[in-house]
A and B are shown apart, each in its own frame.
Chain A
Amino acid sequence: DTGVSQDPRHKITKRGQNVTFRCDPISEHNRLYWYRQTLGQGPEFLTYFQNEAQLEKSRLLSDRFSAERPKGSFSTLEIQRTEQGDSAMYLCASSLAQGLAGLEYNEQFFGPGTRLTVL
C-alpha cells in the first residue's frame, strides 16, 4: 500500500455542473477525513467517517455537498451545482483510530488532493 490516493488530481468544470471526487485511504484505516484548502489558507475540516458512518460535518459543508463511504473503504465527495467559490484543493486523509480513550492519538495521512477550478 503506497498511501492515500485521490482521483482526479485536477478538475476543471463550469459553474452549475456536478463533480465527484474519490479518495482511497490506506488499507485498514477506519477513519477518513475530507478537508478543503483555499489559496493562501490552511486546510479546513469538512467531514469525517468512522468506517462507513459519517459522524461529523462542519458548517462549511453546504447542502450541495455530499460525502459517502459505502463499504468503509473508499469515499466520494460530490459537489452539486458548483459555484466559483467552490474552487479549492480538496484533501483527503485517513487514520487508524486506536489507543486509550482520552489519550487517543491517530496520525492522519494525507493524499495529494484534488484541485477543483470552477469557471
Chain B
Amino acid sequence: AQTVTQSQPEMSVQEAETVTLSCTYDTSENNYYLFWYKQPPSRQMILVIRQEAYKQQNATENRFSVNFQKAAKSFSLKISDSQLGDTAMYFCAFMKPAETGANNLFFGTGTRLTVIP
C-alpha cells in the first residue's frame, strides 16, 4: 500500500522569504509520479508541480521547486519569494503508473502554510 506522510501540520513564512515543506512516502513501485497540490481557503485544489520518478532532475515551476530523493523516498517543496497568495493548504500526493490501475492519487494530511505580510 502507498502512504504519504507530511509531518508539518502548520508552517508560516514571511513574505518574500523561502520556505520548504516536507513529504515522505512509502511504495514498492519503481515508476510513479509525485505531486504537490495547493488548496486555498474555500477554493478548489490546483496542481503546483509534479515529478516523474524516472527523472533524476528535480522539477521546477517558477518560484516552486522540489527536492526529490528517490532512495530516501523524500519529496520536499521549496517556495521562493513567498507571496500572500501562497497562503493555502499544501498536499503532497502519489500516483502509481497507469498499467496498475486507476491512477488515483494518494494524499498526505497536508501542511497549512501562512504567508505573513
Contacts and interface: CB of A to CB of B under 8 A. Distances in A.
A43 B97 contact: no
A22 interface: no
B102 interface: yes
Contacts of B105: 33, 35, 43, 45, 108
A1 interface: no
Contacts of A112: 43-44
Interface of A: 3-4, 31, 33, 35, 40-45, 48, 55-56, 91, 95, 97, 99, 101-108, 110-113
30 contacts: A4-B44, A31-B103, A33-B102, A40-B109, A41-B109, A41-B110, A42-B91, A42-B93, A42-B108, A45-B104, A45-B106, A55-B102, A56-B101, A56-B102, A101-B98, A102-B31, A102-B97, A102-B99, A103-B54, A104-B97, A105-B33, A105-B95, A106-B103, A108-B103, A108-B105, A110-B44, A110-B45, A111-B44, A112-B43, A112-B44
